[in-house]
Amino acid sequence: MTKFIFVTGGVVSSVGKGVCVGSIGRILKSRGLSVSLLKLDPYLNVDPGTMSPYQHGEVFVTDDGSETDLDLGHYERFVNVQLGKLSNVTSGQIYSDVIARERRGEFLGGTIQVVPHVTDSIKERIMALAESSSADVIVVEVGGTVGDIEGLPFLEAIRQMRNEVGRDNVFYTHLTFLPYISSTDELKTKPTQHSVRELRGIGIQPDAIICRSDQTVPEGLRSKIVVHCDVPIEGVLMLPTVSSIYEVPLILEDQGMGNLLSDTLRLNLKDAGRESLNGWVEFVDQIKKPKETLEVAVVGKYVDLHDSYMSVKEALIHAGLHHDRDVEIRWVGSEDIEKDGAESYLSGVRGIVVPGGFGYRGVEGMIDAVQYARENQIPYLGLCLGMQVMVIEAARNLLGKKDANSTEFDEKTDNPVIDLMPDQVGVTDKGGTMRLGVYPCEILGEGASARAYGGSETVIMERHRHRFEFNNSFKVSLASVGLVATGVSPDGQLVEIVEYEDHPFMAGTQFHPEFLSGPTRPHPMFREFIRVVSNGVVKTPNGANSTTNGGNGKDSLGFERDTNSKALHGSQSGSTTDA
């Protein structure tokens, strides 16, 4: 029988439920259980695909083309599983399903109500994931905060689950925040008490309470929470703010989370601690030890909210660790570059990344960043839109086509070097209609892409999210000025990667490699990018170029930095087996 762990949040949002869910999944998987994960989002959007990143952060794309919440990125990175559309359920999906079924007459003329019809639909989605994944444990995150009106049907649904699948098969975890009052120099548990009271009023008694805080929590506060929230002492866990999210599984395991889950759910797992986490201790030790720092600029239009580029940030960290480096990100707004010039914001960085985005705002600043990287021999990695602005910059400044553009930004340009994909012509709906999900790409040539993936003619599988593409009419002319297509679809119709082969590293991918990077399996393109950054040239404020020393040629795990090995990433995929 599948076991279910439900994680709810209280007091405030954005306290790290997604990281906690991923950490719980990591703990259980390390003990030999199969795990799948699910995010329940109470908002009425069908998915986050049409939301501004400022509203909900990054849109994470799965292999099957689902546009999902960024927390699924945490789940995949922590647990090393590949999730799909069944792993993200929204109120929009639930209400659309119920109303469609009513229109088809499936309810036989009955009155449609939140209970039982909406809650039944939620439970069906939870059970569908359990059935399709055949996982031993499903870890479910309920988005938002206890007390939110839109979240009530989800809380009612998970309350009903305990009776439907059996009390021994359900575990409720409540994540709260302990605010610090500086005037009295103390942490307060009262908001947690009220949050748990609200949850119990719904009919859910938490089996564990995880308390987030920015300060060390005195032991006496645990006892206070035990008394007021009716949870055993071993079920009150403290989670202080840490320098790396990857410490969280160790912190929870050190406090007995794995053993508590095993005992409550009768999993019959052997008592264990952090030693069960299969190399995670060594991985975190590597993160925390002093290393050379590489400053890399991320130039985007949503940099005011770093969660907009969550997977990009994590992929840079993963690649840095592979090469025994810390990566420090300089967040640069592309609109600022438009106002003040690239030199003002990019001088001194070791590498430049331009990630994806939609719309014309800030695009000219991205194009200026591309030119700056090309002319100053600074390693550059363009992702989706970051690849497209590479093409526009080359057409304008190397081919002399000053009006070159994407038809996304200028429908009347005489030089549409980026154009609407043929299958997108006539599409008017915005949600879920792009080229989404995993598609094959064949590596060509002997450039950076071939070094990253292990050689020419390698076929890789990468995740996509785009509506516009490279215009093949300009392929030959762009190649004549050095911008070469080094990755194409197997039929040769779609350009997937472009790069300058006479540049230390200047490549752009139409796909999103960041979605397939993991803490112990850095993505090949990011890994190769950071390798070159480690040995690259720095453009200093006075205009001079200085060369950096890349070290002894091996990372902290003993891997060759300039490896063409397929051991870390298989030749048929951007992902690998579990580390």
Q: Which of 398, 359, 357, 351 shows the shortest CA–CA distance to 377?
A: 351
Q: Please pick, among 174, 512, 523, 569, the residue that the annotation labels catalytic.
A: 512
Tokens of 288: 């925390």
Which DSSP string do the residues of 294-342 spell out, in sequence order?
A: EEEEEEES-TTSGGGGHHHHHHHHHHHHHTTEEEEEEEEEHHHHHHH-H
CA 510 from chain centre, in angstroms, equals 17
| Nearest in space to 86 (alpha carbons), one of 64, 114, 71 | 64
5 half-sphere exposure, CB direction, 13 A CA radius? 33
- On whether the CB atoms of residues 465 and 384 are closer than 8 A, the answer is yes
The model's pTM is 0.89
Return the pLDDT at 455.
80
The pLDDT value given to residue 431: 59
Per-residue DSSP letter, 495? E
The domains of the chain, with CATH numbers, are: 3-284 (3.40.50.300), 290-547 (3.40.50.880)
Considering 211, 229, 384, 441, which one is annotated as catalytic? 384
Q: What is the predicted pLDDT for the residue at 109?
A: 83
DSSP-derived secondary structure for 519-575: TTB--HHHHHHHHHHHT-EEE-TTS-EEEPP-TTSB-TTS-BTT---SSSS-TT-S-
Rounded-to-integer distance, Cα 246 and Cα 248, Å: 5
**Given this model, what pLDDT does residue 458 score?**
86
pLDDT value of position 394: 97
pLDDT per residue, tens digit, the chain (579 aa), is: 899 999 999 988 888 999 999 999 999 999 999 999 999 999 999 988 888 888 889 999 999 999 999 999 999 999 999 999 999 999 999 999 999 999 999 998 889 999 999 999 999 999 999 999 999 999 999 999 998 999 999 999 999 999 999 999 999 999 999 999 989 889 999 999 999 999 999 999 999 999 999 988 888 899 999 999 999 999 999 999 999 999 999 999 999 999 999 999 999 887 777 777 878 999 999 999 999 999 999 999 999 999 999 999 999 999 999 999 999 999 999 999 999 999 999 999 999 999 999 899 999 999 999 999 999 999 999 999 999 999 999 999 999 999 999 999 999 999 999 998 666 655 555 555 678 999 999 999 999 999 999 887 789 999 999 889 999 999 999 999 999 999 999 999 999 999 998 999 999 999 999 999 999 899 999 999 999 999 865 555 555 555 444 443 433 333 333 333 333 333 333 333 333
According to the model, what pLDDT value does residue 432 have? 57
Predicted pLDDT at 82:
94
Q: 211 an active-site residue? A: no
Question: Among this protein's residues, is 514 annotated catalytic?
Answer: yes
Residue of 514, 523, 528, 569 marked catalytic: 514
What is the reported pLDDT for 561? 34
Please state, in angstroms and rounded to a whole number, the distance separating the CA atoms of residues 224 and 108: 52
512 has catalytic annotation: yes
